[in-house]
Amino acid sequence: MNKKTVIEVKNLITSYDDNVVLDNISFSTHEEEIFAVLGGSGCGKTTLLKHLLGLLRPDAGSISILDFDITKANDDEMQPLREQIGMVFQGGALFNSMTLAENVSLPLEEYTDYSTRVIRDIVDWKLHLVGLDHARDYLPAELSGGMKKRAAIARAMVMDPKLLFFDEHTTGLDPIMAAELDRIIVRLRDELNITVVVVTHDLTSIRRISDRAIMIADAKIIASGTIKEMEQSGDSRVINFFMQHDKEEQLI
Amino acid sequence: MSSGKKLKIEFKMVQQHIIHISPEFSLLEGESHFKRIRSEKISNVLIDCSAVSIWPSSACAFLADFIKRLNHRNIKWSLNSIPEDTLKTINFMLYRKPAATHLIKKDEIPVVDDTLSWVVTSWHNIVSTVKLLEDITFWTLLGPFFKHGFRYSRTLFEISERGMRSLGIVALVAGIMGLILAIQAAAQLQNFGATIYIANLVGMAIVRELGPLLAALLTAGRSGSAITAELGSMVASEEMDALRAMGVSVTKYIVVPKFVALFVALPCLTIFADVIGITGGYLFSTIQLGIPSSHYIDQTIQAISANDVMIGLIKSIADAIIIASIAVHQGLNTSGGAEGIGRSTTKSVVHSIIFIAIAHLFFTILFYFTGHTLKFNV
């Protein structure tokens, strides 16, 4: 059965000053899949993610999310879509002046008329999903790196989005915590039937969770498909990326 | 058959001069070798590296530099006893190409020189600050009519943070300023037996100019810098992106409470500075000069009109707008991590002080020409 397309990017071109960061990028993701954007540091992964979130505007090309062209939309038109999207930033991006519960409840308080009790129930449930029941009144500064990432997932999930983005979700975590986060991502996808887009250079994590992926290098997509299909790519840059990673894994 | 001419063939031996690189090869050593090569007009050099066992990057760079100079003079060279890895490094240093970038042509305003670039950047800054002010005005005036449009508790917290917590430093500086004014005035007015007019001078100067100026400068240093640093670090830690990704207006959620807080706190701080400054002058005049307390108070009340206080307050409201908009603009446009935050904070304070001075000059000129200038009611 053909699954519905959730994100469709066509011929995306973007540049900073005169330097082209993304050159003719095209891909699509389907519902309930975990889609990965792979590539080395500085290849333009995070820039692509910011375009998908509507935080940056491309020079050319189109991005359609849930059948809505975001490249031509203004902030007001983006609003209904933003309520269906969750984003987990690299460092968590939690608001330092607020407790964990306040961070997680922020979107609910902004967009809904729910009573304080209902909001509290939802927030506690989301914190429970990521294993942070005990930390609801902690400030972000009192949390470890892994806890911050899990709290950021809870905040991203609080509006029950259809689409969830992750930026380098395993960066700065030990292998056990990274594996735990991967398990959480897969579980959320399975239980809540959401589409997940993960931007990372961590191949171990991608091998564990992704259904399909694209790899970006020199501003272009150099490989796409499942990880197995990508590993059989003839492109030397792809082979190097996989070999380098496997070598590092052996060293660890 | 003989041609009559003898064919003369010369065999010239091209001798290879050997240079021994020492284990501590440096630019200086390269220079001395090079000088010798030039003075002896050597055209072929064998660089012997057998004495060097460790090749740090600096040694590779020195050797590469030496070779570049030989190439420049068309002197032939070859290397002896150099490890393969080191050779790779030196080859990279000698023959690397500039990093390839994908260049495209864009229809941009051609930047003729730095001055024009500065004008364009300044214009962009002014336009974005005006847009920000538009947004702030919208959310401040209409926010309370929307659900969650105005954060009352956060605004109260900010007022306390920007206003209440500044009282101590404002009191200290304003009190000292009042004392200084009174002492300076006393030195002059005693010669004419007019010490009672210290009250007029201190009162008018503090209420119309020094009170608002002091409060504004202290607020720019204390609160403006804090706002810029806070917003800058939020930008650096992607908190602003997180808000935008959630569709929450950064202006409404973060900026407006700070803006309203300064708008409320600065006029209050100005009145407070006025009172403390006048008290400073009063204490000196009554204790040191022996002016009767009631005389000094009467003279001050007579000297200062409601109009003077209003002029001071108008200045302080303008100062609040200047400090808040510059601090917020700098904070939101921070880039470059910790260093960028420092840069933005410095710019915020410096720009605020410059614009406060300009604003005060503007108001002084305006009030001068409209007849509201400083006068003594003698």
Does a structural domain hold residue B2? no
DSSP class per residue in B137-163:
HHHHHHGGGSTT-S-HHHHHHHHHHHT
Give the gap in angstroms from C-alpha B215 to the nearest C-alpha of chain A.
27
Same domain, B67 and B141: no
Does a structural domain hold residue B287? yes
Instruction: Quote the CA–CA distance of B368 and B223 in Å, as a whole number.
Output: 31
Q: Cβ(A33)–Cβ(A41) under 8 Å?
A: no
Same domain, B66 and B143: no
Helix or strand run (H / E) with residue B11: none
Give the gap in angstroms from C-alpha B97 to the nearest C-alpha of chain A.
17
The number of beta carbons lying within 10 Å of the beta carbon of residue B258 is 26
**SS3 state at B10:** coil
Same domain, B134 and B80: no
- Cα angle A105, B331, A107; round to 5: 15
**Average pLDDT over all residues of chain B:** 85
Does a structural domain hold residue B292? yes
Q: Cβ(B346)–Cβ(B220) under 8 Å?
A: no
Instruction: List beta partners, residue B78.
Output: B46
Residue A126's closest CA among A82, A93, A157?
A: A157
Q: Are A18 and B104 a contacting pair at CB < 8 A? A: yes
Which of B150, B238, B251 best probes binding to A when mutated, by most A CB atoms within 10 angstroms? B238
- What would the 3-class secondary structure string for A88-140 be? ECCCCCCCCCCCHHHHHHHHHHHHCCCCHHHHHHHHHHHHHHCCCHHHCCCCH
Does a structural domain hold residue B6? no
User: Which of B104, B147, B234 lies nearest to residue A15, judging by beta carbons?
Assistant: B104
Residues of A in contact with B103 (CB under 8 A): 18-20
Residue after which a domain boundary falls, among B46, B69, B95: B95
Same domain, B84 and B150: no
DSSP state of B191: G
Give the gap in angstroms from C-alpha A50 to the nearest C-alpha of chain B.
9
Helix or strand run (H / E) with residue A37: strand A34-38
B241 near A CB under 8 A: yes
Same domain, B39 and B175: no
Same domain, B71 and B164: no
Does a structural domain hold residue B33? yes
Helix (DSSP H) and strand (DSSP E) numbers for chain B: 15, 3
Q: Are A87 and B242 a contacting pair at CB < 8 A? A: yes
B338 near A CB under 8 A: no
DSSP state of B371: T
Residues of B in contact with A109 (CB under 8 A): 148
* Residue in chain A nearest B239 by alpha carbon: A93
Structure tokens that stand for B367 in this block: 């009030």
pTM value surpassing 0.95:
no
B31 near A CB under 8 A: no
Does a structural domain hold residue B308? yes
**SS3 state at A86:** strand
Q: Are B103 and A82 a contacting pair at CB < 8 A? A: no
Q: Are A93 and B237 a contacting pair at CB < 8 A? A: yes
Q: Are A93 and B106 a contacting pair at CB < 8 A? A: no
Instruction: List beta partners, residue A8.
Output: A28, A64
CATH number (domain holding residue B37): 3.30.750.24
Residues of chain B scoring pLDDT < 70: 1-15, 97-113, 147, 372-378
The helix-helix angle for B256-287 and B211-219 (nearest 10°) equals 130
Residues of chain A scoring pLDDT < 70: 1, 245-252
Length of chain A: 252
Residue B265's closest CA among B310, B329, B313?
A: B313
Same domain, B89 and B142: no
User: Which of A20, A109, A113 lies nearest to residue B102, judging by beta carbons?
Assistant: A20
Same domain, B21 and B148: no
Structure tokens that stand for B17 in this block: 């001069």
Q: Are A20 and B104 a contacting pair at CB < 8 A? A: yes
Residues of B in contact with A19 (CB under 8 A): 101-103
User: Which of A55, A93, A218 lies nearest to residue B239, judging by beta carbons?
Assistant: A93
Give the gap in angstroms from C-alpha B103 to the nearest C-alpha of chain A.
5
* Residue in chain B nearest A220 by alpha carbon: B102
User: Which of A18, A82, A90 lies nearest to residue B245, judging by beta carbons?
Assistant: A82
Query: How many domains in chain B?
Result: 2
Residue B87 structural domain: 17-95
Residues of B in contact with A20 (CB under 8 A): 102-104
Which of B102, B121, B240, B258 best probes binding to A when mutated, by most A CB atoms within 10 angstroms? B102
Which of A75, A108, A110 best probes binding to B when mutated, by most B CB atoms within 10 angstroms? A110
Same domain, B162 and B209: yes
User: Which of B106, B241, B247 lies nearest to residue A82, judging by beta carbons?
Assistant: B247
Which of A21, A87, A90, A105 best probes binding to B when mutated, by most B CB atoms within 10 angstroms? A87
* Residue in chain A nearest B236 by alpha carbon: A93
pLDDT for position A247: 67
Is it true that domain A1-84+188-252 has CATH number 3.40.50.300? yes
Instruction: Quote the CA–CA distance of A148 and A240 in Å, as a whole number.
Output: 33
Domain with CATH 3.40.50.300 in chain A: 1-84+188-252
ipTM above 0.95, yes or no: no
Q: Are B245 and A53 a contacting pair at CB < 8 A? A: yes
Does a structural domain hold residue B347? yes
Residue after which a domain boundary falls, among B95, B119, B154: B95
Give the gap in angstroms from C-alpha B154 to the nearest C-alpha of chain A.
11
pLDDT for position B274: 95
B247 near A CB under 8 A: yes
User: Which of B104, B238, B239 lies nearest to residue A90, judging by beta carbons?
Assistant: B238
Long-range contacts of B19-23 (CB under 8 A, 24+ apart): B19/B45, B19/B46, B19/B47, B19/B48, B20/B48, B20/B50, B20/B51, B21/B47, B21/B48, B21/B49, B21/B51, B21/B52, B21/B63, B22/B51, B22/B52, B23/B51, B23/B52, B23/B53, B23/B54
Residue B313's closest CA among B275, B269, B349, B351?
A: B269
